[in-house]
Amino acid sequence: MLLIIKIQMKTDTELKEIVKQKYSEIALQNKEANQSSCCGAGGCSTEVYNIMTDDYSEIKGYTPEADLGLGCGLPTQFAKIKKGDTVIDLGSGAGNDCFVARAETGEDGRVIGIDFTPAMVEKARKNAAALQYQNVEFRLGDIEHMPVTSNMADVVVSNCVLNLVPNKNEVFKEIHRVLKPGGHFSISDIVLVGHLPEALQKDAEMYAGCVAGAIQKTDYLHLIQQNGFSNITIQKEKPIVIPNDILSKYLDEEALQKFNTGQTGIYSITVFATKEAACCGPNCC
């Protein structure tokens, strides 16, 4: 039986609405306001959306207007995208990872971004139109039920999005469905070693910021394996340090000290895995 893991502090529908509302607000800000706020690329840490980001600025295809500073890795850097590939980006936001993927797949490839926030999809489409890309498209949809046909993608990427999805098992099941036999994914996400304090787990803002939605690293990798993937590899791993000015909103002084000196770890990991190739020999089935 497959391992099913859900955050129980609210219903799945309530959690999705929290995420949709927050990321709609971020999408509707202009770039200058977003950069100067804690939700964007600014230096303050009174919100949690920008404490995990990696620098894209030197990567081919990087588009500043599409970079909202909401990721926790550089999955496209590890995704082994080839010329002519079809790439799907889960939780595509304003489109930055799609544009980086397009630089790898070239004009003969195809890139599809999927996001369930209408404001993000609209922003991404405007960015693609400004760049005059004909082979990058953005679709409104839930990544638990992707609006794409089966066996169509060579590569799936995602950047700090599965944390926002209550039923991660359904997402990995969908990734397996949409990948071609022999296709692969590279996904950056947040995982835990140990358990977050209950106050952090229950807070809606922390969930929308990807921290409270994290599951145990071993459980995360187990979900991937149980959904039929092989060659599971952690391509990059780095610890995430939540500043004390954020933690103090949720924890008293004693709990804060215990959290900072305890064994709990929050990590950004980039995971690679493949879908088995189709049977093609007389003895392989």
pLDDT in tens, 118-149: 999 999 999 999 999 999 999 999 999 999 99
CB 61 within 8 A of CB 87: no
Question: How sure is the predictor about 111, in pLDDT bands with cuts at 50, 70 and 90?
Answer: very high
3-state secondary structure of 96: helix
Q: Answer with the residue of higher pLDDT: 92 or 285.
A: 92
Residue range 79-106: mean pLDDT, rounded: 97
Average pLDDT of every residue of the chain: 83
Q: Answer with the residue of higher pLDDT: 12 or 5.
A: 12
Residue range 6-17: mean pLDDT, rounded: 61
3-state secondary structure of 273: strand
Gap between the Cα atoms of 260 and 180, Å rounded: 44
Q: Which pLDDT belongs to residue 214?
A: 82
Cα Dmax for the chain? 66
pLDDT score of 5 more than 60 = no
Gap between the Cα atoms of 104 and 97, Å rounded: 11
Residue range 211-223: mean pLDDT, rounded: 88
Residue range 252-268: mean pLDDT, rounded: 85
Residue range 72-97: mean pLDDT, rounded: 95
pLDDT score of 222 more than 50 = yes
pTM of the model: 0.83
Residue (of 272, 189, 266) closest to 234 by Cα position: 272
Q: Which of 124-133, 179-188, 204-213, 217-226 has the lowest mean pLDDT?
A: 204-213
Q: Which pLDDT belongs to residue 3?
A: 37
Residue range 4-32: mean pLDDT, rounded: 62
Q: Which domains does the chain have, with CATH numbers?
A: 12-275 (3.40.50.150)
Q: Which pLDDT belongs to residue 16?
A: 73
Q: Rg for the chain (alpha carbons), in Å?
A: 18
Of all residues in the chain, what percent carry a pLDDT higher than 70? 81
pLDDT score of 165 more than 50 = yes
Gap between the Cα atoms of 270 and 183, Å rounded: 17
Q: Which of 25-39, 108-122, 216-230, 250-264 has the lowest mean pLDDT?
A: 25-39
